Every structure is written in structure tokens, then in C-alpha cells.
Amino acid sequence: MVTPVTEPKLFKLPDVGEGLTEAEIVKWHVQPGDTVEDGQTIVEIETAKAIVELPCPFDGVVTELLAAEGETVDVGVPIIAVDAGGDGAVATPVSEPPAQAAALREEGLPTANEPGMVTPEEPPKRQPVLVGYGVKEGATKRRARKASNGVAAAVPAVRPPAPRPQPVDNGLPLAKPPVRKMAKDLGIDLATVTGTGPQGSITREDILAAQAVPQAQAVPQAAPQAGVREERMPVKGVRKATAAAMSGSAFTAPHVTEFLQVDVTRTMETVKRLRELPEFADVKVSPLLLVARALLTAVRRHPMVNSTWVDGPNGAEIVVKHYVNLGIAAATDRGLIVPKVKDAQDLDLPGLARALQELTEKARAGKASPADLSDGTISITNVGVFGVDTGTPILTPGEAAILAFGQIRDMPWVHEGELAIRKVTTLALSFDHRIVDGELGSRVLRDVGDMLEDPIRMLAWG
């Protein structure tokens, strides 16, 4: 008779927003043996849009981390095992005689059903799912059989000799996630390693042995040149999503870009005066604030520029948005992201300044949520902060226009009939030529330029 053991609860990686299919484990906040509570943050993950903190959905003691930091995991795959009983013991179903299991542990080898073992026969299934739900599994877990007296009985099992890992459809030998990460960090191909663990699994010792082989057989050669000549960086997370979005946008929407040089001397004077007002005492005021207000005013005068093209079952449609979710492109260590100021048309100038500052700070700190980065209607990219005059921005997918705001610098300019040194910038407006023709694009760009030349027009037109 064998005393039944409880199985740990497995927390599967959820879909944290809009059909995401995978995420990278950035940082674990817990380790095996730690006590966790329902709602406690246990891990940070990086999706295609943002870094997200995940809370634990139950109380208990962490028994195992099933994914290593830096590993990309599919939605629905377990990432952590928690003993809900709270005794801290690793809870695993009994599938081996106790003596055989003890012998394996003395050798430092995992038992056959140790949590976290990744088998090539059961590759992760990738598909969009709802938050909190995992990917459906094709096989169910077998419970211990009950004897006639109702007591769980152990099922005798004979462990076959450890075979050499055989490649299957996905070509992945048997190994745990930490072992896979170790091999990846050391540059070792698992397909070239012979496993000595249970069922032919590859252990840490196998990886270390494989690493030592080429060193022992190395042939003295000429010293390599100093410095790294090449570096390979995996494309994932925000960069992967941005690359896919930009490629899709560039080859779907016919882009047109127009340029306009503008004397913004009065805008700079207005910015200086706004900074002295008590309404802006706790917020940063920059020329971007007035550029944003000018674009919002231009959208109100020309609603078609705030639209999206939709190919539906009954033909194409142009959906005109009578609200503005204003996107502001922000450069971060993780790549370019575009957080949105939702319903920006309803904000007064101090409110718009606070929204721009708060959202940009969140984005650069990696705290922007998927909701902050979705549902935009028109965008601004401030390339001037990099000392660039202008550019030809690519449309954010689903939007009809994006405004590039270049650096402001002193330039000779004809002002009131005389040559003078003025503050000048260059604006660039890219637009979807299916929706916005040359006349409409020119009117929008000219309106923004006129308001930046004379900010009083924002009051007259707003």
C-alpha cells in the first residue's frame, strides 16, 4: 500500500491581451521553497507589446520553476509548480517503486515523472486563448488506481535502460528547461549530446561533458584577432512585433509623405510662458505639447485623416473615428513602442501635458500595459530629440496618418520682409493614400504648420 501524494498546482502562462501567443520570462520574483500568496507578483514577462507582472493565482509553496529567465514560452504552457498544501515538499505522483526512486535520487538523477521535464513527444501547442485558460492538451493525466478497499495502490513500473535520445518530428531531445538554457548559453547543440538521465534525458553533467570534449581535442591555432567581429541578437518581444507591424504596414497601405518647414519662434515663446503658469507647475512642458494640440485641432477640422481602412466580407470600408487615441512614439531599450493617449480630444492643455508625460514615462520604464499600446487612431513621432531634421515615418497599422516632428534649430529666415535668425523645424506627414489624397494631406499639414507659426490660431480654430 502506498500513501497517496498530492500533485502540485501548475500555473500556465496566460494570454495577457489581444491573442498573444508567447512571452519571454524576464525575471522570477520567487524561487523553489518560497511561500506565495494569491495575488502576489511571482514573475515578469515580456510580450510583443510590454513587460507585464503576473500574480500567483493561489496560495502555497513553490516546488519548481518550469521556465528559465530568458526563455520564450508559449501561452498555455506551465511555468511554475506550487504545492497548495503548503508543506514545501515537491509533490509528484508515484510511478516507481520506492527503492528504485531512492537509488535514482542518490545518483542525482530525476525520477520519471519529475515536474518540468520537457519531452519532444509533447511539444507546446500555440494558439490564442482567453486570459486564464491554457491550451487544450491532447492527453489527460492518469490518476493512481484505487484498490477495492478504496486505498490508492502503486502501479509497479520497471525502468528500461536509458536509451540514446532519438529525434522526433520537432527534433528536440529530452531535457528540462534549465538544461536547455544551459546548453544555449554555452553554445552546445543538444542534438549532438548523448543523454545519460532517465529515458535518455540530457542532464547538466552531460552538457558539461560535451563542453569539455572540444577543449581537449582543440588544435593550437593562430591567435584570433582582438575584438568581436559579429554579434547575433535574437529578434523577439517588442522588436519582433514592431518588425512584423512595420513590414505589414509598408506593404499594405500605399504611403505618401509630404514635408513642411515652419518658423516656430512663437511656439517656443509660448512654451516658455506656459512653464511659468501654476497650472503647469508639476508637469514638463515641451514643444511636443503644442504639436500634439495642433494635430488634435487639425483632426477636428479634417476628420477623414483620423480613419482606418477595413477590408470586410461585403467590401472595403473607411471607418472615420470621432475620437482621437493619440499615439506618441517612444524609444526604449526594448525597441520602439507607441503608447496611446486615449480620448485626447477631451483633454485641456494641462491635462494633455500630464497624460503625455505619464504615458511616456511608463513606456520607457517598461510598465506600459497592452491596453496602453493598442487602439490608436493617429500618431506623432518626435525624431527631433535625436537631432534629426525629419524623416518619412511608416504608418502604425490601422491608422491613416503619422506626423514626424523634427529638431528645432536656429536658421536664417525671411521674417516680415527681412532676413533674420529664427527657430525653425521641419514637419513630415505620412498618410495612407487610399484614404487621404494629396489635397487633404496638404491641408492637414499646412494647418499644423500655421498653428505652430502662430499658436493663437489654436484658440481660433479649436
Cα-Cα-Cα-Cα torsion 219, 222, 224, 226, nearest 10 degrees, comes to 140
Q: Shortest CA distance to 51 belongs to which of 435, 367, 418?
A: 367
Active site residue 433: yes
The C-alpha atoms of residue 66 and residue 57 are separated, in whole angstroms, by 16
The C-alpha atoms of residue 253 and residue 347 are separated, in whole angstroms, by 30
Instruction: List the grid coordinates of 297.
Output: 485641432
The residue annotated as part of the active site, out of 29, 255, 302, 433, is 433
Residue 96, SS3 per DSSP: coil
- Which residues partner with 319 through β-bridges? 308
Check: CB of residue 81 under 8 Å from CB of residue 63: yes
- Which residues partner with 340 through β-bridges? 327
Beta strand extents in 264-393 (DSSP E only): 307-312, 315-320, 326-328, 330-332, 335-337, 340-341, 378-381
The amino acid sitting at 43 is V
The C-alpha atoms of residue 412 and residue 403 are separated, in whole angstroms, by 24
The C-alpha atoms of residue 249 and residue 251 are separated, in whole angstroms, by 6
DSSP string, 166-230: PP-TT-PPSB-HHHHHHHHHHT--GGG----SGGG-B-HHHHHHHHHHHHHT----PPPPSS-S-
Instruction: List the grid coordinates of 122.
Output: 509533447
Q: How many CA atoms lie within 13 A of 225 on its CB side?
A: 4
The C-alpha atoms of residue 325 and residue 203 are separated, in whole angstroms, by 51
Enumerate the active-site residues: 433
